Amino acid sequence: MTEEGELYRWGAYGGNGHGVYEPTPRQVAAFVGQHVKHMTAGGGHSSCVVTEMGELYTWGEGGSGHLGHGNAQPHDYPKRVDGLSGVQVTVAATCRYHTLVADEDGVVWAFGQSLGLGLGYPGDGLVDPDDVAGDENGVWQPVPIPTLRVRARKSPDVLPFL
C-alpha cells in the first residue's frame, strides 16, 4: 500500500482474479481510483481492505467463512462485505480461520470459525442462527461482539484491539 492509498499485489490470490503466482507487484484493479487506508492479509488465504469511505472488501480462500460473504466459497476478486453495509469500518485483522473488524464507534465485528472467535456454535444462545448464515463451525456474516470494544491509538502500526 502506498502513501497515496494505492494497493499493489503479488503472489497468488492477489485480487486480480486469475490465481496465478506473480512475482512482480501489480496494482489491484478493483481499487484504482479509490483510496485504501488499511489492508491486512492472513496466512496466505485471505486479504482485507478498508477504503477511505469505510467499506470493507475481502478476497481469497474462504473455507471457514472468514471472508464474510455469507458462505465458505473462495473469491478471486475483492468483494465488498455486504453484511457491513452502512457500518464505517476503520481497521481489520485476519487470522487463519476468522476475521475481526472495528467500526468508528469501537464496536468489534467478527466472522469465520465461531469457536475461534469465542462465539460458540450458531443456535447455542451466543449467536442467533436467524441473524447469520453459518454451520456448526462458522459464522459466515459479520456479527458484533458486544463485550469487546476498541479505542484508537496514535500509531497505525499497532492494531487497536484491546
Using one digit for the tens of pLDDT, what is the confidence trace for 108-151?
998 887 655 555 444 444 444 444 445 555 677 898 887 778 87
**pLDDT tens digits, 47-89:** 899 999 999 999 888 777 889 998 888 888 899 999 999 999 9
Residue 59 and residue 48: Cα distance in Å, rounded? Answer: 7
Question: How far, rounded to the nearest angstrom, does the alpha carbon of residue 24 sit from its chain's CA centroid?
Answer: 24
Closest CA to 114 of 136, 138, 131, 93: 138
Amino acid letter, 5? G
**pLDDT tens digits, 46-57:** 889 999 999 999
